[in-house]
Structures are given as structure tokens and as C-alpha cells.
Amino acid sequence: MGEESTTPDLVELTQQAFDAGSRRDIDAIMGFHAPDAAWDLSDLGLGTFDGAAAIRGFVEDWFATWQDLVLETEEIVGLGRGVVFAPVREEGRPTASGGHV
């Protein structure tokens, strides 16, 4: 009988992370991050967040800007070597707004 892989399924983990985001479950989201993780969102003009505390702060601030927020993955593809590609549709209603984006 062959041994089962102990390597996590990155496609499934990525889906779980986005599902946690749709639930606004910050503790679950942070469970996917190492203490020294970094988010580089500078290409979006949002800056770089070094460490779990900085990432948590960004996520809390981001969620505070939304009354309703849904993160819907279109497809998650494992590209190998620990890399996934995941286009995501984000929609919701900004706080203090009747609009929907």
C-alpha cells in the first residue's frame, strides 16, 4: 500500500482561504499565514504588509469598508512549485453606500 502525501493540496487550501474571506472569518484567514508572511499589494497602490499582525490589520480595515462582501473564485489552478493562479471576483456594498460594486 502506498503512502499518502502529506503535502497540502494548494488548490483546496486556496479555496478555503477565499471561503473564509467571504465569511469574514479573520481568524481562519490568518490560519493560512506564517507569522513572517508578507503581502505585497504595492502594484494596487495599497502598500506592503510584513508579518501576520500587519496582514490582519489590513484585512480588518478592508472588511470595515464593506457592508456585504463576496469573494468568488472563478477557477483555481495549481501551477506547480507551490504556485496557484486564482482569478477572483469580488463584489459587495461599500459601507455607508446604497451602491453595489
- Tell me the domain boundaries of the chain: 10-94
Residue whose C-alpha cell is 502506498? 2
Tens of pLDDT, residues 44-85: 999 999 999 999 999 999 999 998 888 999 999 999 998 999
Say how many CA atoms lie within 13 Å of 63 toward its Cβ: 15
Decide which of 7 and 11 is more confident.
Answer: 11
Q: Is the CATH number of domain 10-94 3.20.20.70?
A: no
pLDDT of 4 higher than 80: no
pLDDT value for 57: 98
- Mean local confidence (pLDDT), 16-31: 95
pLDDT of 6 higher than 60: no
- Mean local confidence (pLDDT), 15-44: 95
Beta bridge partners of 92: 69
Task: Supply φ then ψ for residue 66, to 5 degrees.
Answer: -125, 135
Helices (H), the chain: 10-23, 26-30, 52-64
